[in-house]
Structure 1
Amino acid sequence: MPKISVGLAMTLLVIGNIIAVFSDALIKTLSADGPVYQFVLFRQLTAVLILLPFCLFTNKKDLFAGLQWHVLRGHIWLLGAILMVIALNAMPLATANAIFYAAPLIMLPLAMLLFQETLTKQSIWVAILGFIGVLIVVKPTHINWAAIAALIVAITLAANNVLIRKLPKYQNVFHVLLLTNLVGIPVALSLALWENKPWDWTPMLTATGSTTFILIYAGICVFVYRAVDASKVASAEYSGLLGAVTVGILWFDEMPDLSMIIGTAFIIMPLIWLAKVEAKNKRLAALIEE
C-alpha cells in the first residue's frame, strides 16, 4: 500500500464523510416502526452484490486470509449498522452525526494501545475540542437510549477503522469490504428471522442507495487508514458534521440551534488548524532532508 500525504488523506476523509451523510439521510427516510433487522440484512446483501463483480479476479487462494479479523470487523460493523438505524430514526440527522463523530476521539487511545502510535499534542487537543463540540451539540441533559445507541455506533466506527491495520495488506479495498459484509450475513439473517415481522421488500431500493454511499466511505477509510497513522488524520472525520447539518436543513427541515452552531465550530476550526500544522511540519521535514 503506497504512502500518501496527510493532507491528501484528510481530504479523502472529508469527501468520504460528506458522502456518508447521504447514507444516513436515506436511512432516516425509513418508517420508524419498520423492521430494522430486515433493512440491515438488505444492506448486507446489496453490499455483497455490488462488490462481487469487483472481486471476481481476486486471488482465490488468499480470499479468506486474515479471516479472524474480517469476522471481528464484520460483526462490529453489523452492530454499528443496527444501532445506526435506531439512532437515526429517533434523533435529528445532525445531532446523531455529532455523536457518531466521537469516533475520532475514541480512535486515538485505540491506535495507541493496539499499534503504539505516538499521539502529538496537536492531535490530542483537536480530539478533545472536537469531543467538547459533540457535548455542546448533544447537551448531556438530553442523553437517552437513542444517544447511547449513537455513542456505541461511534465506538464501532472507531474500532473498525483502527482494526483495518490488522488486515492483510495485499487484500484490495473491494476484497476487504466484501468480506466485511459477507461474514455478517448469517447473523443478520438470524436477527431478521428472530424479529418475526412480515417480509417487506419495499426498502430494498433505499438499502441499495444507503449501501452504495456507505461503501464509498468505508472504502476510503480502508485506503486512508492503511496508508497513514490514524492519530494524524482521524480528526478529518469530524468534517461530515457540516454535511449533516446542511442535509438536515434541506431534506428534513431540521434547523440547527445555537448550541449546534457553537459545537460545530469547536469541531471544525481545530481541524483546519491541525491541517495547517501538519502542512507546516511536512515543509520543515522536506527542508531538513534537503
Structure 2
Amino acid sequence: MHGAEPNKDFRSGFVTVVGRPNAGKSTLLNQLLGQKILIMSDKPQTTRNKIHCILTEERGQIVFLDTPGIHKPKHKLGEFMVDSALESLREVDLILYMVDTTADFGTGEEYILENLKQVKTPCILLLNKIDLIEKDKLLKLIKDYSALKDFLAIIPISAKTGENKDELLKVIFKEMPQGPMYYPEDEVTDQPERFIMAELVREKVLQLTRDEVPHSIAVVVESVEEKKTLIKVRALIVVERDSQKGIIIGQGGSLLKEIGRLARQDIETLLGSKVFLELFVKVEKDWRNRGRSLREFGYSDRS
C-alpha cells in the first residue's frame, strides 16, 4: 500500500481488550491475527505487559492492546499489571470487554464494570466460550449484562474456535475512525523479537510445571547471536525460591530440557531459522515486590 494512492475509506484505531484473568483475551487476539503472538495458558494472569498486536487488512488497521487481566493485586507486579490495564481504557477508540460465560458473575466483573462506567470510550461486550454453554444460559447473560451497562454491541463468541470472529471484526472496523496506517502492513506486533522469545519460554514453563511454579517466574533473553547456519539464543529463567529452581530443572535436567525443546520449536517458527537455545535458571528472592527487579525484567518504569 505504500506509494499507492491512499485509500480514503481506510480506517484505523486502537482497541483494548479487558476482562478478568483467564477470560480468553490472548486466545482471541491470536485467533484474530491468525498467528501466535501472545502466550496462552490456562493459568490466570499470564499476560503482564500491555502488548500491541496489529491487524492490517484492505479495509483498515486495528492496533489491539492485550492487557493483563484486571484483578485485586497482591504484590507490586500485580499493581503494575492492573494499573496498566485500567490506564488503557482512556487511551483507545474502542474497548472490548471479554467475559468467560462458564464462570460465575462475581466481584471481579463488578470491579471491571465500575471502571468501564467511568470512561466515555464505547465498549463492546464479548461473551466468550459459547461453545461450552447452553443457549438458555447465553440468552440470560445477554439480558443480565444489558441491564448493567449500555454496550455498543453484545457479541457471543468462541475465541478458541473463532466462532463469530468475522462479525466482531465487522463491528470493530465500523467503529474505527478514518485514519492512517500506524504500522507497516507486514508488522503484527510492536514488541521486539526478544520479548516474544522470552514469552514463548515463559509459556512452556507455565505449561510444564502446572501449579508448582505459579507466577513467580520471569524470563529474560540475555543474548541473540546470528551464526552462519543458526541463531544462538541465551535465556535466563528467574524464580523466587530454590525449590522452584529444582522443579524447573527437573530430575537430571529433564524438565529444563523439555522446556527448551518446545520453546525452541516456537522460536524457530517465529524467526524462520534454526535456533540453538540455551536456558539457565537463577533464584532472585521476592523479585515481584522489588522495583529494581521489575524494571530489569521489563515490567515497570516505577521505582
Q: TM-score, length-normalised on structure 1?
A: 0.27
- RCO higher in structure (CA 8 A, sep ≥6): 1
Larger proportion of strand: 2
Larger proportion of helix: 1
Q: TM-score, length-normalised on structure 2?
A: 0.26
Which has the greater radius of gyration? 2
